[in-house]
Amino acid sequence: MRANKAEQIGLFLCKMGPYQRTVLDNGIRVVTEAIPTLESVSLGIWITTGSRDEAAKENGLSHFIEHVLFKGTKRRSPFDITREIESVGGSINAFTGKEYTCLHAKVLHRDIALAIDILADILAHSIFDPQEIERERMVVLQEIKMLEDTPDDYIHDLFHRSFWGDHPLGYPITGVEKSVLSFQRDEILTFFREKYTPDKMIVAAAGMLDHQQLVGLVEAELGPLQPGPSRGKREGAQGGKAQIKVKYRDLEQVHFCLGSKGIPYGHRLRFAGHTLNTMLGGNMSSRLFQEIREKRGLTYSIYSFLNTYTDTGLFGVYAGTTKEEVQEAVALVLQELKAIRAGRIETEDLLAAKEYLRGSMILSLEGSDGRMGRLAKNEIYFCRHIHLEEALDQLEGVSEEDVTDVAQEMLDSSTLCLTLLGTIEEGELPWQELHL
């Protein structure tokens, strides 16, 4: 007999290990989840510094530092960093976001000390060699060119800039060619010393591990780090610009993003917001996918997204279509946004979206990587651990009224922004302004 939903969740939770948290004297937070059934451990050093924390002339500096950290320490060459971790079958990488940077590794549990040693070494003892900085500058410039050559990615950077304007949330994470070319070693070191301090660091780990052992390793490697000078609080952001912007480029399709203000990461209706996003364009059974792709064949790719930050957010819809059909596609997107804002929600669709999210949440925790990331983000945005059962209960409680409420809060004509990329010019646009 198939177990009911509560029993299924209970069985899954039984497999989850205990959560533990320790704060070192210098402010570094260590959060772990022991999973004794695994042979591996995923761990990351998360720093709450990202592209949002940059001044205009510094745009791309957090991402650039992420690259340069892997280019040699006092004890290891760039080759040594990757060779040592790969020689035990592990992996190491990093990424930069709007509000954080993460250096992470995955190894067999027996090699956790090596992983911490390498991650801590590149964070605390990178030498920022001038020749390596110049070499990596060229790599980052190639990355920017690659992004700009990928229109379905590039449109998102253009959309963020249109929506947020001169606020740092509007800056591309990679930076732009002009800013990356301007970075000098002393400027890089000053930013690093001010923004990568222990009070901004979280060590998150999930897998076969012992919490106290990990705390001891982190204390030995990163305990000596001292707080640096503070640059003050990051600039707040509450809304965005309502406008229509177009960038001409000779392409086969016109790519567009249409969206409005979202909600913060910790918003009281955050689960309703993610449910709304799923219903509109979060999967292949969503309204936008069915209405615009399946029924009319106007696009190959269409989806919605909800980007949430500390104090604000951004909701949007992406699609790529032909110049001749872009007006119809945008009109259909607006039609679906208006419908959900007006409360036209089918109970069956709501239940299906919630089940999809529930399954996605559980599946994302099948591996240690997903659990490590969840530990870190809960610490960053809530300063506490949110048990899976608590999150699933909140999702289960989302009602049609909740989705309507969050739709009316987010889908607001005063912040409705449309950005287009393709063989189209401003004089050809059929819209003067957009309304919901």
Q: For 17-74, how does the pLDDT look when each residue is reduced to its tens digit (9 = 90+)?
A: 699 999 999 999 999 999 999 999 999 999 999 999 999 999 999 999 999 999 999 9
| CA–CA gap between residue 109 and residue 260 (Å, rounded) | 44
Judge if 14-222 and 244-428 fold alike in CATH terms.
yes
Nearest to 137 by CA among 195, 101, 187: 187
Q: What is the pLDDT of residue 56?
A: 94
Nearest to 109 by CA among 218, 213, 203: 213
Look at the block and give the residue holding tokens 């870190």: 376
60 close to 172: Cβ distance less than 8 angstroms: yes
The structural domains of the chain, with segments of one domain joined by +, span: 14-222, 244-428
Please identify which of the residues 33, 54, 66, 221 carries the catalytic annotation.
Answer: 66
Handedness of CA 393, 271, 99, 42 (dihedral sign): positive
Q: What is the CATH number of domain 244-428?
A: 3.30.830.10
Q: What pTM, to 2 d.p., does this model score?
A: 0.93
Low-confidence ranges of the chain (pLDDT < 50): 1-3, 11-14
Q: What is the pLDDT of residue 15?
A: 53
Find all residues with CB under 8 Å of 323, minimum gap 6, and list them: 254, 422, 423, 424
Find all residues with CB under 8 Å of 342, minimum gap 6, and list them: 404
* Beta carbons within 10 angstroms of residue 265's beta carbon: 18
Phi, psi of 53 (to 5 degrees): -95, 15
SS3 399: coil
Task: Give CA 405 to chain center in angstroms.
Answer: 25
Q: Is 348 a catalytic residue?
A: no
Q: What is the pLDDT of residue 89?
A: 98
Phi, psi of 222 (to 5 degrees): -115, -5
Structure tokens belonging to residue 124: 């605390």
Q: What is the pLDDT of residue 2?
A: 43
Nearest to 371 by CA among 208, 211, 202, 206: 206
Structure tokens belonging to residue 213: 């052992």
| CA–CA gap between residue 342 and residue 93 (Å, rounded) | 45
198 close to 171: Cβ distance less than 8 angstroms: no
Q: Under CATH, domain 14-222 is a member of which superfamily?
A: Metalloenzyme, LuxS/M16 peptidase-like (3.30.830.10)
